[in-house]
Structure 1
Amino acid sequence: MLFRQLFDQDTWTYTYLLADFNTKEAALIDPVVEKVERDFKLLNELGLRLKYCLETHVHADHITGTGKLRELTDCEGIVPENAQVSCASRSIADREILKVGAIGIQAIATLGHTDSHMAYFINGDRVLTGDALLIRGCGRTDFQSGEAGTLYDSVTQRLFSLPEETLVYPAHDYRGHLVSTIGEEKQWNPRFVGRTRSQFIEFMNNLNLPDPKKIMEAVPANERCGNALIAK
């Protein structure tokens, strides 16, 4: 399996490239519109055929590159079930498995950061956690129908139940971390360690963080597969 972690410094976003060496089928998870040229060039250099662009959720901090990549490659653009993205090729359901060559990508519903969010468990040894679980942190719950108690349940019951050696690859990092493990996060993540569900809810409800800079632009654009609204 080819596995690449790609970074957009402006929005601190990780995009992930998966590919099967034998079939040359590939998937991109959480592409960023400003990095489409980079990603398309890499696909061509490696001789890969993009089969899927997968979103972990409807992002509020960057505009997805899925729409442009779909035009360039004829890939499928896939969003979590219940996401309000009518232009997507289709949605993916909890526990559904996509195949990219011999690679298995299993969707794990991890609601709470938003009301439609998936993590993707890859080949049984690594999980792309989106914004649900970050390295020593977690996503916010104060917009896009987020709910702190639901996020606590998603992380502690669904993600923390994966094998402890499972590699954790988040959608963002703001401190220079690349990868963690489920075991590390269960032991060291300060958002969860030593906090009950009610304590977590109280903590998350009192973060008082400013809105993401691009939220007014990004959310409506991402509900249109990365196509920004055109003023008339």
Structure 2
Amino acid sequence: MASLFQKLRTLFKARLHDAADKALQKSDLAVYDEYIRQAERELEEFVQTIAPMYAQVKSSRRRREALATEAAKFDLAIDTFLQQGKRTEAMVTQKRFMSAMELIKTYDTSLEKQVSALEMLDDVKVKLEGRLAIAKQERQELGFLLQLAKSKEISAKAMRSLDSLMSQGDSEVATAAENIRSRLDHADAAWEVQASSLDNQLDDAMQSLEVEAALAARMNRLGI
């Protein structure tokens, strides 16, 4: 279980940035799409891994209920045997009753730990699903950034041409060129802000997973 949490932690923390960087560098969203597909597969692996724990809790609860029913019968039988003067039968049944009650206490303790672990795992699953949803949303944002990047490349070429025009000395042409250059600079600044915003979103989205992974590792060490 700990290795799976570590795997998921790496998946959502490190490779998300890596996929985003590669997508922007290559101007291709295919690498990010592959990241999302892999994230979906590994999230499904996590869900399948914890599924047996739900079955174990159900089984423990059924056994605990069966013991409680049996203990109640023993309790009534003890009184009946005593009323009938059957002391030996009452003693034997009393021992069985006490044994059943001890087992019930054991099941109660175990169930408390199992349910607590499942609640935490459910919370982790919800957060992982949320991170995956964020990744899909950021995929759309990356598409927008790539469009901005292409526009930036075009604007860079335009600026070189404008520099040439401005150097020709015609005041009207130079003024118009300067105005256009100012607008292109503004577009470049907007691209930088958008890229910085996405990187901050990626960092914020991953912070809670480190906490969940640390708790999971501690649970594994404690045998919970």
> Could you state the TM-score of these two structures normalised by the residue count of structure 2?
0.21
User: As a proportion of its length, which structure holds more helix?
Assistant: 2
Greater C-alpha radius of gyration:
2
Which structure has more RCO (C-alpha within 8 Å, separation ≥ 6)?
A: 2
> Could you state the TM-score of these two structures normalised by the residue count of structure 1?
0.20
